[in-house]
Homo-oligomer: A and B are copies of this chain.
């Protein structure tokens, strides 16, 4: 494997080109560009350009509408519902977040359900967006069934990420965004691509045996992080993302998917809380004292700091050469009979 260096501006231009040439309208293209470029900027390569071939496959198979106009409705003063209209999630999220933030600032808490959408990105953009408005953000997503509940050997959960952001007045927010599987599926795929092994406990092979071979695990099943407790968190995420939105559980997403390699249809749940409203005006000082104590402990770091440090780097980003070549190919016209989104 070889890597090629690109500036963020070059990455942005490439991503814009690939989505526009595959039938996305301006609004969807811009939301996708923000999503992919911010992942590369922050060093989250498993959610950056790595995902572009999958996005394009879903546009070309017509599973996803690159011109979708998400519909936002306020079902109660605290409940924002977004219908993604079969588009990719980034635009649906961007359209809904301002309403969710308003609700949380007024009531102390708000909840947003996203349905009928295709999520293929990290979750931290949505919770960071809330934190930038001095709100706590919690987001839950489920996905294709690839993780076995604790004690079992058959997949039921998605890798079911949960993201959490805590606002800080004069600092980057505290943010984590983690798969509730022992390892994110994208990371296992990248380990497979790069010929690396993964830690024992990541998953089981097709015969139900522990393995360190990422290929065998991708043919088998991932395990939840943290034993039965992590499995309980994965279950909570599955129920919140699917049960509380009314959208697909992971096994339903698999049934509904066309297996084009892009994201299946599904839902997402986002909760926003205003600490100013729930805890009062002293909340920030109170929490900063806690963060100071946290950071004084040797060997620890607050989640999200590494990503925010990478974000500030002005140097070029390294991109896998084969991936880059593939994306360049995807910018070129395809045969008329599978040309996407021009119907």
CB distance from A75 to the nearest CB of B (A): 7
Q: Is A256 an interface residue (CB 8 A)?
A: no
How far does the Cβ of A152 sit from chain B's closest Cβ, in whole Å? Answer: 4
The answer on a CB contact under 8 Å between A294 and B156 is yes
- Contact segment of A27-35, A38-46, A63-71, A236-244: A236-244
CB distance from A248 to the nearest CB of B (A): 9
Contacts of A226 in B (CB 8 A): 225-227, 229-230
Complex Cα–Cα for A298 and B164 (A) = 32
List A57-99 residues whose CB lies under 8 Å from chain B: 75-79
A157 to B305, CA, bound (A): 19
Report yes or no: A232 in contact with B152, Cβ–Cβ below 8 A. Answer: no
Choose, from A10-18, A273-281, A313-321, the stretch at the interface.
Answer: A273-281
Contact A277 B150 (CB under 8 A): no
Number of copies of chain A assembled together: 2
Given contacts A227-B226, A271-B271, A294-B156, contact A243 B287 (CB under 8 A): yes
Q: Tell me if A149 is interfacial: C-beta within 8 Å of chain B.
A: yes
CB distance from A50 to the nearest CB of B (A): 21
Q: Does A207 contact B (CB under 8 A)?
A: no
B156→A297 contact, CB < 8 A? yes
- Residue interface mask A259-296, B partner, CB < 8 A = 1: 00000000000010101011110110011011001100
Chain B residues in 8 Å Cβ range of A299: 151-153
Cα separation A156 to B166 with both chains bound (whole Å): 18
Instruction: Tell me, in angstroms, the Cα distance from A108 to B159 when the chains sit together.
Output: 26
- Interface mask (A166-188 → B, CB under 8 Å = 1, otherwise 0): 10000000101010100000000
Contact size range, A: 35 or more
A278:B244 contact, CB within 8 angstroms: yes
A137 to chain B, nearest CB (A): 11
Complex contacts, A150 vs chain B, CB 8 Å: 300
Assess A282 versus B151: contact at CB under 8 Å? Given A109-B109, A156-B293, A225-B227. no
**Pair B77/A290 contact, Cβ less than 8 Å:** no
- Contact between chains at B303 and A76 (CB < 8 Å): no
Are A149's CB and B239's CB within 8 A? no
Return chain B residues, CB-CB under 8 Å to A279: 113, 243-246
CB pair A246–B280 under 8 Å, yes or no, is yes
Interface residues of A (CB under 8 A from B): 75-79, 106-111, 113, 136, 148-154, 156, 164, 166, 174, 176, 178, 180, 225-227, 229-230, 232-233, 235-236, 238-240, 242-246, 249, 251, 271, 273, 275, 277-280, 282-283, 286-287, 289-290, 293-294, 297-301, 303
Other than A77-B107, A178-B232, give 14 A-B pairs with Cβ distance below 8 A. Answer: A76-B108, A78-B108, A79-B109, A79-B277, A109-B109, A111-B273, A113-B279, A152-B299, A156-B294, A176-B235, A176-B236, A244-B273, A244-B275, A246-B283
Mind listing 28 A-B residue pairs with CB under 8 Å? Answer: A75-B277, A78-B107, A79-B108, A107-B107, A109-B109, A136-B239, A136-B240, A148-B297, A148-B300, A151-B299, A152-B299, A153-B299, A156-B294, A156-B297, A166-B239, A174-B239, A176-B232, A180-B229, A225-B230, A226-B226, A235-B294, A239-B287, A243-B283, A244-B275, A246-B286, A249-B289, A251-B290, A271-B271
